[in-house]
Amino acid sequence: MASYVFYGWWDWRFLSLIAFSSCVDYFVGIQLNKTNLKRRRKLLLLLSVFINLGFLGFFKYYNFFAENFEVAFTFFGYAIESSRLNIILPVGISFYTFQTMSYTIDIYKRKLEPTKDAISFFAFVSFFPQLVAGPIERATNLLPQFYKQRIFNSEKAIHGFLIICWGLFMKVVIADNLAFYVNTIFNDVHSFQGFPLVWATFFFTFQIYCDFAGYSYIAIGTAKLFGFDLMTNFRQPYLSTSFTGFWNRWHISLSSWFRDYVYIPLGGNRNGKINTNKNILITFLLSGLWHGANWTFVIWGATHGFLNIISRKLGNPKNLKLLRMAMVFIVTMFTWAIFRANSVSDLGYIISNFYKIDSSGLIGLSTITKYDFMQLLIFIFVLFIADVFISRFEKKDLILSRFNYVLITSILLVSIYLFGSFEKQEFIYFQF
């Protein structure tokens, strides 16, 4: 009930969507378990997929496809007018749709037994910490945790509070301070050339990381306060030495979802190199489209698809690690310009003007002071040191004394108070 109040506080009318999707998948799951008839099982699965993707497609992509359908006919000499709808995109629909779909798909594949506990299932779909921006949880991990009696665990809560503080630091100190410079440049790209565009792309690379990973940390930490363990969603992605490695570290819950429910069902790497490359490209194109109804996201997805195909061919040699890390970071940074561009025309301008120099100088002082610019670089340096430190404990638990927990959380809270930007700044992934 609390999760429904949390979601309904934004717009109570959209509660009907999440409730209806939950009802459909709850009953589909039960019916899938009752029959062994292939045809009936496929029809039940298609019912779940059709309803869930139908809602997502209508609210997120109707106007996009209507507009492009109109453009396509105009290209061939036929003038048609398609209707546009003034549709509000429900917050979190891309996340909870994939979450509830994975439940029925796993039951269909007989990887999961359906639950008859309706309250637990509805709570699993609407669990408030990760409802609006992930991580996209699997029923195999999160759902069984609702069956257990809730017993407060002080150690888990202390650890959770530290994770929340780190997430808040990433969001309000790093991401939101970077946002001012990034938004100023990208929302008026035609007024800038050269270095300001490069710096804005560099800063957006860290803004989107700190914004999205920050939310994930806050969600994971909040869940721990209630005794729940959510999956890791980021694992220091900018320390990757290959593009396949990057996607094993970035938005892990989404990339693993597309791997398990799109790439592998398409055939994965089982039918030769050509089919493997085709499956990779399709998966990344769909991943790009998942992010939004804009051709820039499709181009971004296709670019990462080709980069992953190239990365697979090159392999991941152990030598020259720092050089490969730098190369992956630089290329990934420039792909974020595709992601952040407001339109294809803006993207074309950005690409053609990256290397031009004009009166705005090295950093575009008309948009930011030297002091603020240096402060942003210091924030990024702190993040880099923290990621390197955390990565050293990637495969082992970092055990801290209570004194160290208090010390670190105190430093983070003071830093948030002193350097945080508290102007209204939504999480970037709320728009998806």
State the Cα angle at 217 between 215 and 223, rounded to 5°. Answer: 105
Burial class of residue 231, CB neighbours in 10 A (0-12, 13-18, 19+) = middle
Q: What is the DSSP string of 288-308?
A: HHHT-SSHHHHHHHHHHHHHH
- CA-closest candidate to residue 320, choices 385, 241, 239: 241
* CA 94 – CA 290 distance, rounded (Å): 7
* CA 193 – CA 186 distance, rounded (Å): 11
Alpha helices in 109-175 (DSSP H): 118-126, 139-142, 154-168
Place of tokens 């409730």: 19
Structure tokens at 181: 């410079």
Catalytic residues: 291
Alpha helices in 341-369 (DSSP H): 344-353
CA 141 to chain centroid: 19
- CA distances in angstroms from 154 to 39, 224, 225, 227, listed in the order given: 50, 10, 8, 9
> What Rg value do the Cα atoms of the chain yield, rounded?
23
* CA 128 – CA 228 distance, rounded (Å): 12
Give the helix, strand, coil percentages of the chain, each rounded to 5.
70, 0, 30
Whether the Cβ atoms of residue 66 and residue 84 lie closer than 8 Å to each other: yes
Distant-in-sequence, close-in-space partners of 398: CB < 8 Å, separation ≥ 6: 390
Whether the Cβ atoms of residue 22 and residue 121 lie closer than 8 Å to each other: yes
* CA 219 – CA 334 distance, rounded (Å): 29
